[in-house]
A and B are shown apart, each in its own frame.
Chain A
Amino acid sequence: MSAIEPATPTSPASAVAGGAAGAEAKPDWPLGGTRPEARPPGEPRRVGYLYILPAFLILAGLILYPLGHAVYLSLWHWDGLTTGTWAGLENYADVVSDPALRSSFAHALVLLAFYALLPVAIGLLIAGLVARAQVRGLAFFRTVIFLPQVIAMVVVAVMWRMIYEPENGALNELLRAVGLGSLTQSWLGDFDLALPSVGGIATWVYYGLAMVLLTAGVQKIPQSLYDAARVDGAGPVREFFAVTLPGLRGEIAVALTLTTIFALRNFDLVYITTKGGPGDATSVPAFEVYDRAFQTGQVGSAAAIGISLAVVIFLISVLINRVAERGAR
């Protein structure tokens, strides 16, 4: 899978110079399935298990075991108190057939557009512009635009409730101030508007993330490619589609994967802003998990939703990265 990786140490170029011409093709470090060769004397190997042990125990006890437990729970009808009854795959069948659950997954897909597509589109626009010019103060812009990311989602939600407030919220006030008073809305209270309004908050939060990732990617595209495109007479638009976009394939995949995961996991935002309402216009799977497990006593169903969610997240991540890799060939 594809992912962001951390900084290489800012190692002095002279201390660790890059591969020189004629460097011997050294055997690759076998990581992954390959069987390790006989161990060179003195090379630490088995001690590796010791280094991993504490992390692995924590992971096994608090992720692997609960995950197995979740699968088990998902096969029962259980209210959390009395004795459960065997459900088989019924809880999973409900995920597909129960209209309330189906719509919660549908909502999650709508939110994908606001969490993933829109932020990445904005990020691409900015990256495309940055690619063409030496932007002074880019670091400043990046810091500011990234800022919504670091604020707790609960705070963000509280804040946007104030902005969306129909009576004296900032958004309606702003519309009135510019003479568009007719457009004022009950943003979070309207059945049709509530979902996009929640989505808008997510876009506000995540375009900074997409922008940071994508502008970083742009700076790794060799300048010579742009020079070549310009020599070939490409204009700004051609340049974007011929150089910038293909060069950002990996970063786009990372940004889409991350934001997609955030979208599907979305709980706090909905919980604070709408509690799934009005009606169930903004209910999402994660909210259903919480609601069913801890409010309405449908623990098995909640577990099944959680597992389904994990599977969907996994499949979408794999799909995005497959597409990105295929494009790379």
Chain B
Amino acid sequence: MTSRTEQTLTYTILGLFSLLALAPIVGIVFTALQNPDNVNAFGSFDGIHLGNFKDAWEQGNFGSYLKSSAIVTVTVVVVAGTLSILSGYAFGLMRFRGSGVLFYVFLLGLMVPMEAMIVPLYYDLRDLSLTDTYWALILPQIATSVAFGTFWMRAFFRSVPRSLVEAARIDGATSWFTLWRVLLPLAKPAVLTMTVLLFMWTWNEFLLALVMVTDEGLRTAPLGLSFFQGRNTSNLTLLAAGSVIVATPVVVVYMFLQRHFIRGMLSGAVKG
């Protein structure tokens, strides 16, 4: 039994850190809602002025940025997610020559940071005339996402009781049928968590967009925001509104799926 004071201490500390996490976020939302005609200060609240969002949207061209981000993110998540399920299935549940070595190649892809590849990637994609297209944003991120996704799905498939796969084989199911109809329904939490993570990382990617894209029409939301900031350092409310616009889609996805997402992260096993 823990003492009452200890209980209080626990809640106090949890509350404190929650507050600390929330305060800047609430602050920027308040700032985005301020009356633009007043003297603006971060975090103060003087009523709700939704017009800021409209102004930021129009002046900042955020509609176009969000569209680019959506195209890139959805493509990356769908393609990388599907390919990860396929390769994770093979690595997790099939025995074939060289699977160990091949898996290390995937692990390598997981370890190499974008920063180490960005320079050659730029020149390679430029040679293929792919810079300043969505492909320059999509393809490299599919690659990094697939490395992670394969690792993630393999771990899931390895946790599936082998007898389930064997029962399906005796029942006459093909490996393809077993994957989509027997195993994938079980994989929902793992797939969901993977989706949220890939969505988050892809939406928030900055360096790649900064390097690959000069055409304003292709700018993703984080890149657009950084340019918007360059132009509007003095206008606090507009910048705050723009920030909120850029952050919102991921926060919404997170809020919708957070219960499954956190559960997926929590039941994550740590393998030595």
Contact = CB atoms under 8 A, between A and B. Distances in A.
A66 interface: yes
Most chain B CB inside 10 Å of its own CB: which residue of A49, A59, A61, A310: A59
B109 A265 contact: no
Contacts of A6: 152-153, 155-156, 189-190, 193-194, 264, 267-268
A173 B200 contact: no
Nearest to A68: B120
B124 A265 contact: no
A33 B99 CA distance: 8
Interface stretch (B11-19, B46-54, B55-63): B11-19
Q: Which of B2, B42, B147 has the most CB of A within 10 A?
A: B42
A2 B223 CA distance: 33
Contact of B43 (A56, A170, A307): A170
Given A48-B94, A162-B28, A306 B86 contact: no
A212 B31 CA distance: 29
Contacts of B188: 9
B193 to A, nearest CB: 6
Interface string A27-59: 001111111100100111111110110111011
Given A7-B193, A55-B87, A152-B246, A70 B116 contact: yes
B123 to A, nearest CB: 8
Q: Among A31, A36, A52, A306, which residue has the most Cβ atoms of chain B within 10 A?
A: A52
B243 A159 contact: yes
B263 A7 contact: yes
Contacts of A286: 113, 115, 207
Nearest to B236: A162
Interface in A157-175: 158-160, 162-163, 165, 168-170, 173
Most buried by A among B2, B120, B246, B262: B120
B60 to A, nearest CB: 12
Contact of A211 (B10, B17, B42): B17
Nearest to A264: B113
Contacts of B100: 31-34
B152 A5 contact: yes
A312 to B, nearest CB: 10
Chain A interface SS verdict (over half) = helix
Given A44-B175, A155-B222, A306-B117, A55 B21 contact: no
A192 to B, nearest CB: 23
B255 to A, nearest CB: 8
Interface in B192-224: 193-194, 200, 203-204, 206-207, 210-211, 221-223
B181 interface: no
Interface string B229-272: 10000001001100100110011001000110011111111111
Contact of B222 (A48, A67, A126, A154): A154
B96 A152 contact: no
B10 A132 contact: yes
A115 interface: no
A188 interface: no
Nearest to A265: B113
Contacts of A165: 42
A159 B210 contact: no
A230 to B, nearest CB: 9
A284 to B, nearest CB: 10
A130 interface: yes
Interface string B107-145: 111011111111111111000000000000001101110
Contacts of B150: 55
Contacts of B21: 144-145, 147-148, 204, 207-208
Contact of A51 (B42, B89, B101, B117): B89
B172 to A, nearest CB: 10
A1 B111 CA distance: 11
B151 A3 contact: yes
B107 to A, nearest CB: 7
A155 B247 contact: yes
Q: Closest 3 interchain pairs by CB?
A: A9-B186, A250-B270, A5-B155
Interface of A: 1-11, 16, 29-36, 39, 42-49, 51-52, 54-56, 58-67, 69-70, 72-73, 80, 122, 125-126, 129-130, 132-133, 135, 138-139, 141-155, 158-160, 162-163, 165, 168-170, 173, 204, 207-208, 211-213, 216-217, 219, 236, 250-251, 253-254, 261, 264-265, 267-268, 271-272, 285-286, 289-290, 293-294, 299, 302-303, 306-307, 309-310, 313-314, 317, 321, 324-325, 328
Interface of B: 2, 6-7, 9-11, 13-15, 17-18, 20-22, 24-25, 27-28, 31, 41-43, 83-84, 86-87, 89-91, 94-97, 99-103, 105-109, 111-124, 139-140, 142-144, 146-147, 150-153, 155-156, 158-164, 169, 174-175, 186-190, 193-194, 200, 203-204, 206-207, 210-211, 221-223, 225-226, 229, 236, 239-240, 243, 246-247, 250-251, 254, 258-259, 262-272
20 contacts: A2-B271, A16-B161, A31-B158, A63-B147, A67-B112, A126-B17, A143-B258, A148-B24, A151-B247, A154-B246, A155-B225, A162-B240, A219-B266, A250-B271, A250-B272, A265-B113, A272-B226, A286-B207, A299-B123, A306-B117
Given A6-B190, A204-B21, 11 more contacts: A3-B270, A7-B156, A33-B100, A62-B140, A64-B105, A73-B123, A150-B200, A152-B221, A272-B226, A290-B211, A310-B113
